[in-house]
């Protein structure tokens, strides 16, 4: 690794905090994808409210699961975070477009994704050095 790209080693506390913060959005995304695959009536009604057809539900669940899996693999976690940011951006826009105050949920999920990743991923710390 280039000396300009190196950062301080990650402490055990930061590593575990990052893992826990990363687990929260992963659990939310897995729950969301599972609900989409099961298609209970409230999911179908919600998608209709947002202007999406029922045929989109399973497709979005598969995308959500794929992006989450990529995020969970340490070697591809940064790429997964980028993909999930795009996915969550679409969710935010969908909620905001209809005036649903729940648009903050995907925003908070995205922040937790990146904060958890930043705390546990040395490569990301090297790219985005926060210094006092």
Per domain, the residue ranges of the chain are 24-126
CB 119 within 8 Å of CB 15: yes
Helix 104-120 and helix 77-97, axial crossing angle in degrees, nearest 10: 170
* Cα(73)–Cα(22) distance, integer angstroms: 12
pLDDT confidence of residue 3: 47
CA torsion sign, 82 to 88 to 93 to 94?
Answer: positive
DSSP 102: G
**pLDDT, block means (10 residues), the chain with 132 residues:** 59 93 97 96 94 95 98 96 98 94 95 95 84 64
* Cα(53)–Cα(45) distance, integer angstroms: 10
């Amino acid at each position: 690794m280039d000396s300009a790209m190196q950062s301080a080693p990650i402490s055990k506390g930061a590593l575990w905090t990052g893992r826990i913060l990363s687990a929260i959005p992963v659990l939310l995304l897995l729950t969301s994808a599972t609900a989409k695959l099961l298609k209970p009536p409230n999911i179908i009604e919600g998608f209709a409210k947002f202007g999406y057809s029922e045929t989109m539900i399973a497709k979005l669940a598969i995308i959500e699961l794929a992006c989450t899996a990529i995020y969970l693999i340490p070697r591809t976690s940064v790429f997964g975070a980028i993909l999930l940011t795009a996915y969550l951006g679409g969710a935010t826009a969908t909620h905001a477009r209809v005036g649903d105050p729940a648009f903050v949920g995907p925003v908070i999920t995205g922040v937790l994704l990146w904060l958890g990743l930043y705390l546990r991923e040395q490569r990301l710390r090297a790219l985005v050095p926060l210094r006092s």
